[in-house]
A and B are shown apart, each in its own frame.
Chain A
Amino acid sequence: MVRVSRLAERGAGRLPGVVVALTLVFLYTPVLVIGYLSLSPAGQPTIPIDGLSLRWYTAVLTDSRFVRALFTSLGIGIVTAFGGTMLGLAGAYAIVRSPLTRTVRRSIAVVIALPLFVPTVVVAFGIGRASALVGFGYGYLPVVLGHLFWVLPFTTFLIAARYGELDDRLSAAARDLGADNRTVFVTVTVPLLWPALMASVLFAFALSFNEFLITFFLAGSGVTTVPLEIFGKVRIGATAFLNAASVLVIVVSAVAAGVASTLRRPV
């Protein structure tokens, strides 16, 4: 019935469809353009490019600075992905399932959501100053902590959404059949949350891998991530090297996104 009326009623004319089409063009043109330009053999590509070559990919992947930055980003991304998901699971439990009072759970949600409505530059600056003042200084530890803080609202609310749908009586049934709390968690809760947990790991990885501003404030001189490296080069000028590096960065995140899109919720 709803379907029929949906097809029969074409309100608002073609406008929404046109907007969607234009948006897709808008969203994907830059990606295609950068991919196209990355194949230019010239160091300063012109449009159209004069020939096809992968030499800038070779250049990027043999550039020790870039490769080091890539490994740094991957490392921080992986630590953040798993750490952020674990913390997010704890946060989700606290918000949706724990017997804490409603007010307490609300407050926890607000505190966790902080990075969303406080401007990033303010938090980043604040963390930088606080870190310097308590003697943490700059480097890997502050960066990882900053990233964990930044991904926490995303992982928490992603997992909480699924956790909230989870039937409380399933764990009662498991306990009735002889499972202790840990076993209930391992055999019932985690398997049912699995897709959400995986999505959280992947999204947290992508967020961390692409994070720029917090890293900018906390990295100090010793740590360089890919976004920092690229940003530094962008200010100097657009080059073929940068195009190839950009494409590689996009590929890494797109792989994470691709894996995430294959995740299915059980049942």
Chain B
Amino acid sequence: MSVADTPGRVRDWLIAGSPVLLALALGVFPLVTLFVESIGPGLGGENYAEVLSPLYRGALLYSIGVGVGVTAVCLAVAYPITYWIAHRCPDRYRLVALVAVTLPLWLNYVVLNYAWVWILARGGVVNRILVGSGVLDSSLDLLYNNVSMGIGFVYIYLPYVVLTMYVSMERLDYRLITAARDLGASDYRVFLDIVLPRTLPGAAAATLIVYARIAGAFATPEILGSPGNIMIARLVVQAFRQYTNYGFAAALSFVFLLLVLGSLALGALSPRVRRELRQW
């Protein structure tokens, strides 16, 4: 080879090799294992038949629904937040504001979700205040339903969404907004015509990061969700814990994975998102 083109190829493959090996060994190999287990002895496919029975279909759809819903709420809230930080916040405070809204990213989500129990419980902060101030006569059941679980999810994943979207929002040239307004656009039109298209890549990236994790979450539904609404993670954990029926859990995982990737791909395939993603 040549004098100037050192670092050589071999060395680069070695350097790239260590993280890639880890990612393959713990990312790809286990998926292959699951797939093999899911087919089960004798290529029966019974596991898959069972997964598609109405009982589990419900859990699959519920998980996907929670993933979509929570991601949408996070995005909806993240838009005004990142807009404010990127374009309205005085320069001096911008970093502080960004750190403040993303700090929970560093904290433990089990603990943070647990804290919500104290806020929403019958004897918790919200009920004490409402009852104590005479607004309510008796405590409300705020805990262990879709809303409390949704709050827990948004609480954990909003910081991720904000951080990812901020990059796009900061790149959005504010003069475009001024120009649109100068041409007579209302706030609504400005958002639709300027802000949304220019920040779509950030929103897509944020979705990519949080959606799969929300749909497949275990702790938050366990701590804040309704015991009756079963998400996929609980089924997988149960099968794993009870050392039974790995094949079924594997099939369930696999179908779920395909659904998650499929729904992500569906979003990514829409021509508009595709066009915007190219900027990234």
Q: Do chains A and B touch in the complex (CB under 8 A)?
A: yes
Binding site for B on A (CB under 8 A): 2-3, 5-6, 9, 11-13, 15-17, 19-20, 23-24, 26-27, 29-31, 33-34, 37, 46-48, 87-88, 90-91, 93-94, 98-100, 104, 108, 111-112, 114-123, 125-130, 133, 145-146, 148-149, 152, 156, 181, 203, 206, 209-210, 212-213, 216-217, 226-227, 230-231, 234-235, 238, 242-243, 246, 249-250, 253-254, 256-257, 260-261
Let me know if A116 and B209 touch, CB within 8 A: yes
A29-B19 CB under 8 A given contacts A100-B12, A249-B111:
no
User: What 1/0 flags go to B1-36 for Cβ under 8 Å of A?
Assistant: 000011101001101101110111111111101100
Let me know if B178 and A98 touch, CB within 8 A: no
Compute the total of residue contacts between A and B using a CB distance below 8 Å: 287
Residues of A within 8 A of B106 (CB): 203, 206, 210, 253-254, 256-257, 260
**CB of B87 closer than 8 Å to a CB of A:** yes
Residues of B within 8 A of A88 (CB): 19
Let me know if B264 and A117 touch, CB within 8 A: yes
Let me know if A126 and B237 touch, CB within 8 A: no
Q: List 10 A-B contacts (CB under 8 A).
A: A9-B181, A47-B128, A87-B22, A91-B16, A126-B34, A126-B253, A145-B26, A212-B218, A234-B223, A254-B106
Which residue of A48, A118, A235, A243 is within 8 Å of B257 (Cβ)? A118
A212-B107 CB under 8 A given contacts A6-B174, A152-B19:
no
Closest to B210 in A: A116
Closest to B159 in A: A27
CA distance A123 to B260 in the complex (A): 13
Let me know if A119 and B257 touch, CB within 8 A: yes
Let me know if A20 and B257 touch, CB within 8 A: no
**CB of B123 closer than 8 Å to a CB of A:** yes
Closest to B209 in A: A116
Closest to B208 in A: A117
